[in-house]
Amino acid sequence: MRLAVTGRDGQVAASLVESARGEVEVVAVGRPSLDLARPDTVFSALEAARPDIIVSAAAYTAVDQAEDEKDLAFTVNAAGAGKVAETAARMGVPVIHLSTDYVFDGAKDSAYVETDITAPLSVYGASKLAGEQAVAAANPHHLILRTAWVYSPFGKNFVRTMLRLAAARDEISVVADQWGNPTSALDIADAILHAAAVLSRDKGNAFGVYHLAASGETNWSGFARHILDTSRALGGPHARIRDIATADYPTKARRPANSRLSSAKFMAAFGWVAPDWRESAAVVVGRIVADHPVPGR
Ligand SMILES: NC(=O)C1=CN([C@@H]2O[C@H](COP(=O)(O)OP(=O)(O)OC[C@H]3O[C@@H](n4cnc5c(N)ncnc54)[C@H](O)[C@@H]3O)[C@@H](O)[C@H]2O)C=CC1
């Protein structure tokens, strides 16, 4: 089975390429040949990869910048994503599209399930919701996987930022009133491979929207503490974490106070077990600290 994933160097794309195993081959297709801001590039770039399944992971992911670049965010995340799904439909293959917890407003006081009402607070969230709708309209054979708080050994992410800051400072202020499920892109890749195996066996009934996140929950401050405690145990950088409120750290884009996701539907459909976020985070911290040793403090 051959998977084409959009976005050559994205966290999920790089994790899928690394995780490919057995008879599964993963081809990453990205700029310049596939540019979601130029939807006319999408069909030829993906057709050339001859996939059995297309994984739509590339996106405009700069959440704050999107507030100033609404047109570009919507072109990439809505029109571009729709074009990827339409390409899959033309080729007669399913599309697995990544979406986000930021389609919710965070007002719920428990984990979100797939049937909950969406109400994005940000341009990014709205553009990703429009992307979900475009994908569903273009190709009935879709899985829309909403994930959250993604980090990995690749690219820019919260884990890397905390380790970089800890190497330079004694104390880091981190918001403690936004709750969610930090999710390793390596686990997302594993879950996508599970889902792809099911789709290739049973072309039938699994299509639809799913939540896909690690198990257990925390806030950004708790996530930061776990990252730096793990790092210190490995001889990497460490710093004190000071809890602050969202109101003390103004950002252009509003973020949900609660974006916890229940992955129960995905686990039941695809026989995947969501790992505990702490264990997965420790793996990624270990890899980053081993790859880029910084003096312990
Ligand atoms: N990073 C996160 O915390 C979260 C991400 N997601 C979603 O998961 C998916 C994967 O996210 P990550 O791998 O973390 O993203 P990332 O930011 O690591 O990578 C995004 C990829 O998209 C590519 N890209 C951006 N604009 C493009 C364009 N115009 N044409 C072609 N490629 C373009 C980038 O080059 C990069 O390869 C995305 O759909 C994202 O919206 C969902 C929830 C949280």
- Per-residue pLDDT tens digits for 65-75: 999 999 999 99
- Domains located in the chain, CATH noted: 2-157+182-216+259-275 (3.40.50.720)
Q: Which residues is 54 bridged to in the sheet?
A: 4, 95
* ipTM entry: 0.99
Round to whole Å and give the CA distance between 73 and 60: 6
- 122 with 67: CB under 8 angstroms? yes
- Kindly write down the DSSP assignment for every residue of 60-84, as one continuous string: ---TTGGGT-HHHHHIIIIIIHHHH
Split at pLDDT 50, 70, 90, the class of 203 is low
pLDDT of residue 205: 77
pLDDT class of 21 with cuts at 50, 70, 90: confident
Give the separation between CA 230 and CA 262, rounded to whole angstroms: 26
Asked if pLDDT for residue 171 goes beyond 60, the answer is yes
Residue 83 has pLDDT above 90, yes or no: yes
| Ligand 1 mean position, distance from CA 14 (Å) | 11
Tell me the sheet residues that pair with 98: 145
- Mean pLDDT value across residues 187-204: 90
pLDDT at residue 217 tops 50: yes
Q: Residues 146-170: what's their mean pLDDT? A: 96
pLDDT tens readout for residues 89-128:
999 999 999 999 999 999 999 999 999 999 999 999 999 9
- Is the per-residue pLDDT at 204 higher than 70? no
* Residue of 151, 271, 296 whose CA lies nearest to 223: 151
- Pocket probe mutation, ligand 1, options 34, 55, 61, 184, max atoms within 8 Å of Cβ: 61
Is the pLDDT confidence value at 201 over 90?
no
Average pLDDT, the chain: 95
The CA 10 to ligand 1 mean position distance, Å, reads: 6
Mutation test residue for ligand 1: of 150, 161, 181, 210, the one with most atoms within 8 Å of CB: 150
Q: Which protein residues touch ligand 1 with a CB less than 6 Å away?
A: 7-13, 30-31, 34-37, 57-61, 76, 98, 100-101, 128, 147-150, 155, 185
Residues above pLDDT 70, as percent of the chain: 98
Return the active site residues: 124
Residues 98 and 213: their CA atoms lie apart, in Å, by: 12
pTM here?
Answer: 0.97
Of all atoms in ligand 1, which is nearest to the CA of residue 101? 43
pLDDT band at 297 (very low <50, low <70, confident <90, very high): very low
pLDDT of the residue at 293: 59
Asked if residue 294 has pLDDT above 70, the reply is no
What spacing in Å lies between the alpha carbon of 97 and ligand 1's midpoint? 11
Q: How far is the CA of 138 from the centre of ligand 1 (A)?
A: 20
